[in-house]
Amino acid sequence: MPKGTDVLTPTVSTELTRRLDAATERHIGSIDALREAVCAYLDDLRATGMPRERALAAVRAFIAKSQAVRAAQDGQSAIDERILARMSAWCVDHWAAAHS
């Protein structure tokens, strides 16, 4: 370790811990809200009588369209593939839970 970095002051470590906890809570809350929104959209599609595979494809299409619009508006990069995979898994799990 470089000289001077092997000991954290209590003030620095306390502040870092507080900020890490706050960021984690915001992240978890954001992911939970996203999951709820995705599942609610899927419920709406299912309520129209849409079959499972078409509903899952519609969710993916909606996400792709949203990404394209966002990129065109502000140049933001696409949603991380891990989040897309997680969203797809939520849909599959949510659909299965509603039909069990």
Q: Is residue 63 in a domain? A: yes
| Alpha-carbon gap, residue 24 to 33, rounded angstroms | 14
Domains of the chain: total: 1
pLDDT values of the chain reduced to their tens digit, one per residue, 100 residues: 455 555 556 677 888 888 888 888 888 888 899 889 989 999 999 999 999 999 989 988 888 887 777 777 776 666 667 887 888 899 889 989 887 6
Q: Is residue 58 in a domain? A: yes
Structure tokens at 14: 């306390």
Residue 67 burial by Cβ neighbours in a 10 Å radius (0-12, 13-18, 19+): middle
Residue 1: per-residue pLDDT: 44
Residue 51: C-alpha distances to residues 31, 34, 40, 77 (Å): 26, 22, 16, 31
Residue 67's domain comprises: 10-98
Q: Is residue 2 in a domain? A: no
Q: Is residue 5 in a domain? A: no
Q: Is residue 56 in a domain? A: yes
